[in-house]
């Protein structure tokens, strides 16, 4: 179901890419979630207005924007790169969306207790990547990678029973001590975890 007037952008990855500035378009294939994946993730996370979904590392806001056009949930995207947040805010405004917001911040400053569900698309992968980075703002740093992964696991540990987490291409995030794996799709790359 689509709640927004401007539906083309919510149906095609190419149309979404075309709305981006040239400098961020080039990263779509590797760094922004495909629309088909977003729709499944949003259905799993909950589409009702009571759901407050946090995208951990929101990039240009693709997950939150497409998600907000396909549900009544409220989406918050937190992103460390200011230029990407500006792009996300511009798109939100052009599409006249009210159930989405973007915060320019390091995820380590965010209080997870404000949210009911979480989306995690390998946000810290550039700390471990030798190629394919978005730009040179994030440098290879194994220690920082472990710190951020542990930070997210620890925050998720404190969430209440029933909290939903969807991970995409994120095999290193080990939440199995506190969460049950409830569903998988896209050859296991997309996973739904629910806090026990």
Q: How far is the CB of 161 from ligand SAM (least distance, A)?
A: 25
DSSP E strand stretches across 57-178: 74-79, 100-104, 117-120, 164-168
Q: How far is the CB of 7 from ligand SAM (least distance, A)?
A: 19
Pairing of strands 100-104, 74-79: parallel
Q: How far is the CB of 2 from ligand SAM (least distance, A)?
A: 19
Query: Half-sphere exposure of residue 33, counting CA atoms within 13 Å on the CB side?
Result: 34
Q: How far is the CB of 59 from ligand SAM (least distance, A)?
A: 3
Write phi, then psi, for 32 (nearest 5 degrees).
-110, 135
> What is the chain's alpha carbon radius of gyration, rounded to the nearest angstrom?
16
Answer for which of 107, 156, 166, 175 binds ligand SAM (CB under 6 A) is 107
Counting contacts by CB under 6 A, is residue 87 touching ligand SAM?
no
Taking the C-alpha atoms of residue 170 and residue 123, their distance in angstroms, rounded to an integer, is 9
- 58, 102 contact by CB (below 8 A): yes
Nearer CB in complex with ligand SAM: 64/175: 64
Nearer CB in complex with ligand SAM: 166/175: 166
Helix/strand number for the chain, H first, E second:
7, 7
Nearer CB in complex with ligand SAM: 120/179: 120
Answer for which of 35, 45, 53, 80 binds ligand SAM (CB under 6 A) is 80
Number of residues that bind ligand SAM (CB under 6 A): 21
Query: Half-sphere exposure of residue 12, counting CA atoms within 13 Å on the CB side?
Result: 9
Q: Which of residues 17-76 bind ligand SAM (CB under 6 A)?
A: 31-33, 55, 57-59, 62-63
Taking the C-alpha atoms of residue 147 and residue 149, their distance in angstroms, rounded to an integer, is 6
Counting contacts by CB under 6 A, is residue 122 touching ligand SAM?
yes
Nearer CB in complex with ligand SAM: 11/180: 11
Binding site residues, ligand SAM, CB under 6 A: 31-33, 55, 57-59, 62-63, 78-81, 84, 106-107, 121-124, 148
């Amino acid at each position: 179901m689509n709640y927004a007037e401007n539906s083309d952008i919510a149906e095609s990855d190419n149309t979404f890419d075309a709305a981006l500035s040239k400098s961020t378009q080039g990263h779509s294939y590797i760094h922004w979630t495909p629309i088909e994946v977003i729709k499944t993730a949003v259905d799993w996370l909950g589409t009702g207005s009571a759901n407050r979904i946090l995208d951990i590392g929101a990039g240009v806001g693709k997950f939150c924007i497409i998600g907000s056009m396909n549900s009544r949930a409220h989406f918050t995207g937190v992103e460390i790169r200011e230029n990407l947040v500006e792009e996300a805010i511009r798109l939100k405004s052009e599409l006249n969306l009210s159930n989405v917001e973007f915060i320019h911040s390091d995820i380590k400053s965010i209080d997870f207790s404000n949210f009911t569900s979480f989306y995690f698309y390998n946000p810290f992968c550039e700390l471990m990547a030798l190629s394919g980075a978005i730009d040179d703002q994030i440098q290879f740093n194994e220690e920082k990678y472990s710190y951020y992964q542990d930070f997210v696991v620890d925050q998720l540990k404190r969430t209440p029973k029933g909290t939903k987490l969807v991970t995409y291409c994120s095999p290193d995030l080990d939440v199995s001590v506190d969460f049950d794996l409830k569903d998988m799709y896209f050859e296991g790359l997309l996973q739904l975890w629910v806090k026990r």
